[in-house]
Amino acid sequence: MKHPIPKLSTLLALVVLVVAISSIAPPPALAGEYTIASCQANGEFSSGAFEDFATRGMKWRRACNPLGPGLRGLVTANVAGEGHVAVGSQSAFVLEAPPQTTLSNLRWSGYAHRRDCRYALQLYAVRPDGSSVALKDVRANRGCPGRAQAQASSWPRPRTYQLGGATRIVQRVVCMGAPHASFCSARGQNYLETFTAEASVLDETPPAVAVSPGGPLVSGEWVSGSQPFSYEASDNSGVKVVRGLIGSASAGESTRPCDYTQRIPCPSGPGQIQVETQRLPEGTQELRLSATDAAGDQSESAPVTVRIDNTPPGAVPVAVEGGEAWRNHDSFALGWVNPSEEDRAPIVAAHWRICRVGTQECQAGTATGPSLATVGGLTVPGPGEWEAQIWRQDAAGNTQPQNASIPVRLRFDPEPPELGFEPTSVQDPDRVGVHVADKVSGVAGGEVELSRVGSGVWQPLPSALEGEELVTRIDDASLPAGEYQLRATATDRAGNEASSESRIDGSPMKVTLPLRTTTMLGASVRASHIEKKVLHRHGRRRVVKHTVSEEGSKETVAFGTKAKFSGRLLDKAGNPIAGASIAVYQQAPEEAEAQVATLTTGAEGGFAYEIAAESSRRLRFVYSGTPTTLPSEGSAEVLVHGASTLKVKPAHVLNGGSVTFTGRVQGRPLPAQGKLVELQVRLTHEWSTFRTIRSGPEGVWSIEYPFRRTCGVEHFRFRARLPGEAGYPLEPGHSPTLTVTVRGKPC
């Protein structure tokens, strides 16, 4: 291998050719394989994959850019100068395969130059068992050039060499010496240049990847939006990319910077992936990582559970605990029901806003808690009516003010009403008015009480709220005369209460009863009946009849006659009250009282009322009074004798025959079992009962009587007596009398 030293122009042409050839892209590496591109095999002329080494008298140079002075490429050479280089001295570049990988082939181009044959110029690969594969070997002391001549070999076009699973590539120049000399000459340069080196690395070891603990997403918490998480990835050749997978959907990726000019192109170690959860399905699912190393080997991590929810909670109806009515304590609580939603983030917070009704005066806040369904301890900025709304937030942080609830009212009033008695009206003295006012919640009601001065006993009066006035009336007709104290109590709609015993002007509210003018009403009933009187004059007997009238509070009359009632209404001074209305109430025995008429007094204050005497009854005449006069009343009672018709058939009968007495009881109602009737006969000077019977439902009765012991001619007088009894509203009475003639044998 004897070559003259080439001229400079020849060297420049060679460099251009090498650059042109090296610009051709190498074929892509197979799966599980990657290529380390060094020197002119990469655009940056990097040679970082090779380690350098040189002993005394030797040197190395990294000058991969073909444009430049001096030797170019990866150069191993001796140091040119005077003197000798010791045997064993060397300079080298070494490419070590990454751990657990082998080198399958090398695509290489370069140039060799030697002046001293005692130098060896070598390019070889070393297998794991220590054996080597020679790629370029310019042996020492072989084919040596003549004196003052040099050897040179050029391989400008890259050529592929099979390395057979080697783990190291070595380029070196070493002084081997000669049998007659244990040194090499330092004069002139002896070197080996590498222009292009592309080493294919076979890597069948998959990367290791795992999700790092920490962070809400990979801790199983509910999340939304953009969520980062960390991972740990490692590989003998480095990790090129890590991808997140949820089901078959991509959950983001982390592409790591790789430099294929280095023996380990890609980094190992921690990394981070940003997950845009809005692009992923919602709910509970598994997250896996897929890692790809520099050689394209892939592996997956163990899954971790993630929970995704990007939907804000919807609006829910809200209620005020205790209702929306007014209250006098500034403490409120809002409650709601969280709808059941499977595999969704639970509610953990609620945002609230309270605004004065009709204004922009507002305050807001947030309450938190697991499965939150109530917000308590709320207060309003001041008295008045406020509106409250809430919108919920879930554990993933989703919340939306547009999903606020329909407003509910918070009503607060700490101030009691104001009240005072108004002046008494002369035209309506028993009317009591109390002015009441409440500027916040309004008056809900009140009561006026009355107490006789000195008694210490208060009694309530029926009171009613009329606008801003609490009104009652003093029943001075039923209360004893004397001085009385009044007290008014008012409550607003918030439950605040206030009371007063004073008039508006501050004076005590006292009155003297009665407040109205007293009246008197007298009533009586007039009854007329016929009295008989037997007169004996000149030896003759004569019966005289005349009508007698009696008037009083209780009179008795015969059935079917007229009962006349009358009365008079006077004031305290005895003056008649004309034109007054008198209500007439009637009550019969065992019946409820009912009004039957309304009368009007005449010019002298008098009135009259007439009824048919069909049952006993009590009449009450009532004057209701006026705003200035007291009521009064009077009563009278009429008692009516019971009655019955009486017939006999036949009226003449022989001894041994029978007659039948019949009749109908008058007056209603009748007892349920019928009216008791006593049939009487007149004996000497008195009436004697010889038969009794009860009438039928219609009052009809009938008795048959036989005559057995009559001699001669007898005239008997009979009557039907009606005794008093429960269920019959009349006094005891009797029927008219009749005579039955009985003829028997002579005595």
| Pair 427, 415: CB distance under 8 Å | no
Sign of CA dihedral 163, 262, 65, 92: negative
Q: What is the H or E stretch that residue 14 is in? A: helix 8-22
Query: Is residue 15 predicted with pLDDT exceeding 50?
Result: no
Token representation of residue 583: 């209500």
Interval 517-543 mean pLDDT: 81
**Confidence category of residue 530, pLDDT binned at 50, 70, 90:** low
C-alpha–C-alpha distance, residues 505 and 421, integer Å: 9
Picking from 104-108, 300-304, 530-534, 585-589, which range would have the lowest pLDDT averaged per residue?
530-534
Choose which CATH entry (3.40.50.2300, 3.30.1950.10, 2.60.40.1930, 2.40.40.20) describes domain 520-640: 2.60.40.1930
pLDDT for the residue 527: 79
**Confidence category of residue 27, pLDDT binned at 50, 70, 90:** very low
Token representation of residue 408: 């509910």
Distances (CA, A) of 447 to 438, 442, 504, 744: 16, 16, 17, 88
Per CATH, which fold does 208-272+286-299 belong to?
Immunoglobulin-like (2.60.40)
Token representation of residue 108: 């290489």
| Pair 700, 656: CB distance under 8 Å | no
| Pair 120, 173: CB distance under 8 Å | yes
**Confidence category of residue 301, pLDDT binned at 50, 70, 90:** very high
| Pair 12, 237: CB distance under 8 Å | no
All structural domains of the chain with their residue ranges: 8-202, 208-272+286-299, 319-412, 418-513, 520-640, 643-743
Query: Is residue 282 predicted with pLDDT exceeding 90?
Result: yes
Query: Is residue 43 predicted with pLDDT exceeding 90?
Result: no
Radius of gyration of the chain (CA): 68
Question: What is the average pLDDT score of the chain?
Answer: 92
Report which of 119, 17, 37, 38 is spatially closest to residue 76, judged by C-alpha positions: 119
Picking from 55-64, 349-358, 526-535, 680-689, which range would have the lowest pLDDT averaged per residue?
526-535
- Can you tell me whether residue 16 is helix, strand or coil? helix
Q: What is the H or E stretch that residue 532 is in? A: strand 519-537
Is the peptide bond prior to 514 cis by the omega test (within 30 degrees of 0)? Answer: yes
- Can you tell me whether residue 398 is helix, strand or coil? coil
Q: What are phi and psi of 7, to 5 degrees?
A: -75, 165
pLDDT for the residue 685: 84
What strands, in cross-sheet order, belong to the sheet with 168-175?
51-54, 90-96, 168-175, 119-126, 132-138
Burial class, 401, CB count within 10 angstroms (exposed 0-12 / middle 13-18 / buried 19+): exposed
Q: Which residues contact 358 (CB under 8 A, 6 or more apart)?
A: none
Picking from 141-145, 642-646, 703-707, which range would have the lowest pLDDT averaged per residue?
141-145
Query: Is residue 149 predicted with pLDDT exceeding 70?
Result: yes
363-403 tens-digit pLDDT: 999 999 999 999 999 999 999 999 999 999 999 999 999 99
**Confidence category of residue 535, pLDDT binned at 50, 70, 90:** confident
Interval 514-526 mean pLDDT: 94
Report which of 182, 193, 192, 185 is spatially closest to residue 81, judged by C-alpha positions: 185
Q: Which residues contact 175 (CB under 8 A, 6 or more apart)?
A: 57, 58, 78, 85, 86, 87, 88, 89, 90, 118, 119, 183, 184
pTM above 0.85, yes or no: no
- Looking at the structure, give the CATH architecture of the domain made up of residues 418-513: Sandwich (2.60)
- Beta strands (DSSP E) in 369-478 are 374-378, 384-394, 408-412, 418-421, 431-437, 443-452, 459-461, 463-466, 469-473
Token representation of residue 288: 């896996």
Query: Is residue 168 predicted with pLDDT exceeding 70?
Result: yes
pLDDT for the residue 121: 97
Do 520-640 and 8-202 fall under one CATH topology?
Answer: no
Query: Is residue 541 predicted with pLDDT exceeding 90?
Result: no
Cα 149 vs. chain centroid, distance in angstroms?
A: 103
DSSP 3: B
State the pairing for strand pair 652-654/738-743: parallel
685-719 tens-digit pLDDT: 899 999 999 999 999 999 999 999 999 999 999 99
Count CB-CB contacts under 10 A for residue 28. Answer: 9
pLDDT for the residue 5: 33
Quick one: what percent of the chain has pLDDT higher than 90? 86
State the pairing for strand pair 562-571/519-537: antiparallel
What spatial distance separates the first Cα and last Cα of the chain, rounded to whole Å?
A: 206
481-497 tens-digit pLDDT: 999 999 999 999 999 99
CATH number for the domain formed by residue range(s) 8-202: 2.60.120
CATH number for the domain formed by residue range(s) 643-743: 2.60.40.10
Sign of CA dihedral 363, 369, 375, 376: negative
pLDDT for the residue 300: 96
CATH superfamily of 319-412: Immunoglobulins (2.60.40.10)
Interval 527-554 mean pLDDT: 75
Query: Is residue 94 predicted with pLDDT exceeding 50?
Result: yes
Q: What is the H or E stretch that residue 21 is in? A: helix 8-22
List % helix, strand, coil for the chain (3-state, nearest 5). Answer: 5, 55, 40
| Pair 210, 287: CB distance under 8 Å | no
